[in-house]
Amino acid sequence: MTALAVEDLRIRFGDTVAVDGLSFELPAGGALGIVGESGSGKSATALALLGLHTSAVVEGRISFDGLDLTTLTDRRWRDVRGARIAMVFQEPLTALSPFHTIGDQIAEVYRLHTGASRRAARERAVEVLRQVHIPDPARRAASYPHQFSGGMRQRALIAMALSCRPQLIVADEPTTALDVTVQAQILDLLDEVRETTGTSLLLISHDLGVVAGSTDRIVVMRRGVSVEHGATAAVLGAPSAAYTRELLAAVPHAKPPRTIEGAPLLRLDAVRKHFPQPRRGSWRRPEPVRAVDGVTLDVRAGETLGIVGESGTGKTTLARVMTGLLAPTAGTITLDGADITRRRGRSVQMVFQDPMSSLNPRRSIGESIADPLRLSGVRDPRTRVEDLLERVGLARTEYDRYPHQLSGGMRQRVGIARALAPRPKLIVCDEPVSSLDVTTQAQVLALLEELREEFGLTMVFVSHDLAVLRQIADRVAVLYEGRIVELGDTAEVYAQPQHPYTKELLAAVPVTDPAEARRLRALRRTIA
Amino acid sequence: MIGYLVRRIGGALLVLFGLSLLLYGLFYLAPSDPAILTCGKGCTPERLAEVRHAMGVDDPVATQYAHFLQGLVAGRDYPAGPATRHCPAPCLGYSFETDQPVTALLLDRLPVSVSLAIGAEVLSLVAGIGAGALAGLRRYRWLDRVVNGLVLAGYAVPVFLVGLLLLLIFCVQLQWLPFPTYVPITTDPLAWAQNLLLPWVALAVIQTAAYARLTRAGIQETLAEDHIRTARAYGLPESRIVWRRALRGALLPLVTLTAIDLAAIMTSAVLTETMFGLPGVGQLLVGAVNQIDLPVVVGVTMLTGVLIVAANTVADFLYAAVDPRVELR
């Protein structure tokens, strides 16, 4: 039986066509994935399924349980939303009201659709919170969203989706804002919910690995058009569309190992960075946050050292300490034998995570790149900046454009050019590709590798993404609670992880092979 | 919570202490000698010395300040001819002009100012939030434009002009209302409100404009937030989304503003008080400044300080009460 059938869906914002003739079917109890990069129209499709577009023209047929959703009045829509089709959003902190408790928000939805008593609604809220494995659900129902962790917030949102026992759950990038291990937990939960309640799942993601393990069928979208659809295993195993092949090729792959026997360039010896906490309430000073807590590490000349960790493990702090942007609380950092706190600047440069916020919006990109050159005494850097722009794959004429006029990938190229400008020996990249689409990500990674060879650079690559590191790093250090719990050649760490945290991380990595994804899900159940 | 309150009150006392020090310093530096003014024409040096002693301005400034603080905390005695008179705490001295205790003067005027402030605040909150919410929900439609125009007009028109117009229309032309005089609420609540209605409206014009603008912006901002989209996606009716979700977020900044405005009106609605002949604190201040009546000026300024500090503290508590993300510690 078909739960949802979309026929020839067209969504237009003014003259911009977001979705152009999309058709798919989702069987009752089934799971369908929609995959595409930004601008592919996947989120517009999700919003259309709930009639949430306000400024767009939606045409076509959306048949759901005998209704044509595109013809519903506002009043009828409200009976469908939440009760029969429920949505799980990307950013669970902002998706929940900050002024109401989790329990109240779930109960409100349940009461609205079932007319249950306040008490019954509260009980239902606790019940669904238990169903999504919130510990001590009766007590936690009285918490506000800001008192929950990211993963728990997403669980709460899934609980809200479950509360009215909908026939369809639409999850739009439900794990994008989450750490990799939490992402795996949420995907496992969605899978479990589908099995136990029999609802259908429409999972929307930019990440092939996310849909591979959680769906039976997928639709690959590009610029509003479905380029390929079919059984997940078939599409990912033997793609017929060129674009699907391109996407799959862009997913990071392991590469043959290099052996780097260079002398240590950057040496960290028992480096600590503690952030003292303000005194609050009590007279005793609280323990400082030990962001980096005793890291000893050599970065060999010519290698790419990967540093992996989830949010809060201290990886950004470590990157900043390495570049001299933060002074360590204790320990020494030397570059070529000289203390880095005294000689930072030109020889160590950094590429930041978010190229938009790390570029001055009021300066042209050429000027931003020229700044470090001027600092190092170059009088008229324009030609050199233009050469650099060309080298990172941008046109010389981009010099006078502003950050907001560029795409995300182009902006990150600017960030790389700026880091390269003063001819550094070492570049520290802090999550340089995590905000980029997968094909752009592949291009930027390739660029970084080329540049490393051409300029003889040493690189430190900080990331939460084990797949990316597997491709680019020669050695990997696993960071956990401010300490390095495992360090070794990339191939070795991936094949034979020693530390339990490394094992957990590796089991959580999304993979594009559905069979492997299922094996990992089973493995995660045994670890947990 | 208790710890926060204790620290907060300690901080407030420190601020007030600093304020008194600053005030005293300023007045000591003022070029005029209040004793000469009090003594008047044909003053003999002997008489002047006597006056100085009576006023307590012959002591070194540090001693004067110490006496002032002592008066505030414990009360003090003033020489009055051969006898002394006791000024109970909190003592702010005696007016140079009328020889009445400043504390009594303030207490006399305060009910007028409080009545004025509360009424004006209630009026402007109701009108401002209402107009702002309507405008926010009907963005860029005619209603929004009308509200925006009125907001600009409210900002632009000076309060004395509004006051004069109100008097002209309602008291002179239509004769619907009496010329305002202050009637205490305890004597006759109806007359109290009737007499204060025009001053309230005059004061509320500017406040309403400010609140309407803030509410409009707040509503629009909150309506664009993700959790509103979630509410829609779960079938909540639009009215509920606006009243339970959007307005809640939009009104947060108003909490702080209202508390501070209340305190400000109580002590500085000079124009309104003068125009409508209301014997409030603002009028007292202007009179005292003109007469160089230092104890009264110091008294009013200290009162302003106390009110503002108290209003800030109350605002913080209210803010924590309405926004669960704010923790007082």
**DSSP conformational letter for B244:** I
Interface contact B234-A89, CB threshold 8 A: no
Which residue has better confidence, B94 or B56?
B94
CA distances from A206 to A6, A42, A89, A176, B133 (A): 20, 9, 14, 9, 38
Q: Domains of chain B (ranges plus CATH)? A: 2-87 (no CATH), 102-322 (1.10.3720.10)
From A101, A112, A157, residue closest to B235, measured CB to CB: A112
Do the Cβ atoms of B151 and B182 come closer than 8 Å?
A: no
pLDDT of B31 reads 65
Min Cα–Cα distance to chain A from B186, Å: 40
> Mean per-residue pLDDT for A449-465?
91
Chain B residues in contact with A91 (beta carbon < 8 A):
226
pLDDT of A288 reads 84
CA distances from B208 to A20, A358, B123, B307 (A): 48, 41, 8, 22
| Predicted model pTM | 0.82
Min Cα–Cα distance to chain B from A341, Å: 37
Measured CA to CA, the distance from residue A90 to residue A176 in angstroms comes to 6
φ and ψ of A335, to 5 deg: -115, 120
Task: Give the contacts of B173 (CB within 8 A, at least 6 positions apart).
Answer: none
Query: What confidence tier does A141 reach under pLDDT thresholds 50, 70, 90?
Result: very high
> Mean per-residue pLDDT for A278-286?
68
- A157-166, pLDDT tens digit by residue? 999 999 999 9
- A345-397, pLDDT tens digit by residue? 678 899 988 878 889 999 999 999 998 888 888 888 899 999 999 999 999 99
Query: At A525, is the secondary structure helix, strand, or coil?
Result: helix
Query: Is pLDDT above 80 for A438?
Result: yes
Query: What confidence tier does A413 reach under pLDDT thresholds 50, 70, 90?
Result: very high
> Mean per-residue pLDDT for B231-235?
92
CB atoms within 10 A of CB B186: 8
> Mean per-residue pLDDT for A183-200?
90
Interface contact A83-B232, CB threshold 8 A: no
The H or E element spanning position A219 is strand A217-222
The answer to whether B221 faces chain A, any CB pair under 8 Å, is: no
Query: Is pLDDT above 80 for A180?
Result: yes
- Exposure of B142 by Cβ count < 10 A (0-12 exposed, 13-18 middle, 19+ buried)? exposed
| Topology annotation, domain A255-277+285-347+424-496 | Rossmann fold (3.40.50)
Min Cα–Cα distance to chain A from B175, Å: 49
pLDDT of A87 reads 93
Query: What confidence tier does A178 reach under pLDDT thresholds 50, 70, 90?
Result: confident
Closest CA to A510 of A132, A176, A171: A176
The answer to whether A123 faces chain B, any CB pair under 8 Å, is: no
Helix (H), strand (E), coil (C) string for A90-133: CCHHHHCCCCCCHHHHHHHHHHHHHCCCHHHHHHHHHHHHHHCC
The H or E element spanning position A308 is strand A304-308
> Mean per-residue pLDDT for B175-188?
81
Tokens of A502: 């490394």
Query: Is pLDDT above 90 for B1?
Result: no
- B89-116, pLDDT tens digit by residue? 788 888 877 888 888 889 988 888 888 8
Interface contact A81-B226, CB threshold 8 A: no
Closest CA to B260 of B322, B211, B214, B312: B312
Q: Which residue has the tokens 């790419």?
A: A304
Query: What confidence tier does A343 reach under pLDDT thresholds 50, 70, 90?
Result: low
CB atoms within 10 A of CB A79: 14
Interface contact B245-A98, CB threshold 8 A: no
> Mean per-residue pLDDT for A148-163?
91
Query: What confidence tier does B32 reach under pLDDT thresholds 50, 70, 90?
Result: low
Q: What count of Cα atoms within 13 Å lies in the side-chain half-sphere of residue A222?
A: 14
Nearest CA in chain A to B229: A95
Interface contact A52-B233, CB threshold 8 A: yes
pLDDT of A345 reads 60
| Burial A183-198, CB ≥16 within 10 A → b, else e | bbbbbbbbbebbeeee
Rg (CA), chain A: 25
Measured CA to CA, the distance from residue A195 to residue A183 in angstroms comes to 18
Nearest CA in chain B to A50: B233
Closest CA to A401 of A391, A424, A413: A413
Task: Give the contacts of A489 (CB within 8 A, at least 6 positions apart).
Answer: A257, A474, A475, A476
- Exposure of A54 by Cβ count < 10 A (0-12 exposed, 13-18 middle, 19+ buried)? exposed
φ and ψ of B18, to 5 deg: -60, -40
> Mean per-residue pLDDT for B316-321?
84
Q: Where are the alpha helices (DSSP H) in chain B?
A: 2-29, 34-39, 45-55, 61-74, 102-137, 142-156, 159-166, 189-223, 226-233, 238-240, 247-268, 270-275, 281-290, 294-322
First to last CA, chain A: 35
Q: Does domain A2-40+52-223 have CATH number 3.40.50.300?
A: yes
Query: What confidence tier does A199 reach under pLDDT thresholds 50, 70, 90?
Result: very high
Chain A residues in contact with B233 (beta carbon < 8 A):
50, 52, 81-82, 86-87, 89
Measured CA to CA, the distance from residue B316 to residue B293 in angstroms comes to 35
Strands A475-480 vs A304-308: parallel, antiparallel or unpaired: parallel
Of A245-249, A428-432, B275-279, the range with the lowest mean pLDDT is: B275-279
Which residue has better confidence, A501 or B61?
A501
pLDDT of B28 reads 66
Chain A residues in contact with B236 (beta carbon < 8 A):
78, 82, 108-109, 112
Measured CA to CA, the distance from residue B61 to residue B45 in angstroms comes to 21
Q: If contacts are CB pairs under 8 Å, which of residues 8-47 in chain B contact chain A?
A: none
Query: Is pLDDT above 90 for B261?
Result: no
Q: Which residue has the tokens 């990038």?
A: A173
Handedness of CA A442, A447, A450, A455 (dihedral sign): negative
Q: If contacts are CB pairs under 8 Å, which of residues 153-172 in chain A contact chain B?
A: 157, 160
Query: At B325, is the secondary structure helix, strand, or coil?
Result: coil
Tokens of B294: 């230092």
Choose the mutation target among B139, B227, B234 for the interface with A, i.e. most A CBs under 10 Å.
B234
Fold match between A2-40+52-223 and A255-277+285-347+424-496? Answer: yes
Measured CA to CA, the distance from residue A243 to residue A236 in angstroms comes to 12
Nearest CA in chain B to A76: B235
Min Cα–Cα distance to chain B from A79, Å: 6
Do the Cβ atoms of A245 and A281 come closer than 8 Å?
A: no
Q: Where are the domains of chain A?
A: 2-40+52-223, 255-277+285-347+424-496, 359-423
CA distances from A220 to A355, A515, B231 (A): 28, 19, 29
CB atoms within 10 A of CB A464: 19
Number of residues that this document lists for chain A: 528
Interface contact B325-A146, CB threshold 8 A: yes
Query: What confidence tier does A128 reach under pLDDT thresholds 50, 70, 90?
Result: very high
Query: What confidence tier does A280 reach under pLDDT thresholds 50, 70, 90?
Result: low
Nearest CA in chain A to B319: A99
Do the Cβ atoms of A236 and A248 come closer than 8 Å?
A: yes
Query: What confidence tier does B81 reach under pLDDT thresholds 50, 70, 90?
Result: low
Tokens of B186: 């305890």
From A99, A109, A146, residue closest to B234, measured CB to CB: A109
Query: At A220, is the secondary structure helix, strand, or coil?
Result: strand
- A3-24, pLDDT tens digit by residue? 899 999 999 988 889 999 999 9
Task: Give the contacts of A85 (CB within 8 A, at least 6 positions apart).
Answer: A49, A50, A64, A166, A167, A168, A169, A170
> Mean per-residue pLDDT for B272-276?
84
Interface size between A and B, measured as CB pairs under 8 A: 72
The answer to whether A280 faces chain B, any CB pair under 8 Å, is: yes
Interface contact A82-B227, CB threshold 8 A: no
pLDDT of B23 reads 82
> Mean per-residue pLDDT for A253-278?
85
Query: What confidence tier does A63 reach under pLDDT thresholds 50, 70, 90?
Result: very high
The answer to whether A78 faces chain B, any CB pair under 8 Å, is: yes
Interface contact B249-A83, CB threshold 8 A: no
Strands A57-64 vs A2-13: parallel, antiparallel or unpaired: antiparallel
Closest CA to A483 of A268, A208, A216, A179: A268
Min Cα–Cα distance to chain A from B210, Å: 25
From A79, A81, A101, residue closest to B233, measured CB to CB: A81
Choose the mutation target among A50, A75, A81, A99 for the interface with B, i.e. most B CBs under 10 Å.
A99
Query: At B65, is the secondary structure helix, strand, or coil?
Result: helix
Tokens of A363: 């300066």
Query: Is pLDDT above 70 for A528?
Result: no
pLDDT of B273 reads 86
Measured CA to CA, the distance from residue A421 to residue B100 in angstroms comes to 77
Query: What confidence tier does B239 reach under pLDDT thresholds 50, 70, 90?
Result: confident
The answer to whether A142 faces chain B, any CB pair under 8 Å, is: no
pLDDT of A520 reads 86
Min Cα–Cα distance to chain A from B258, Å: 20
Average pLDDT, chain A: 89
pLDDT of B74 reads 82
pLDDT of B295 reads 83
Min Cα–Cα distance to chain A from B240, Å: 11
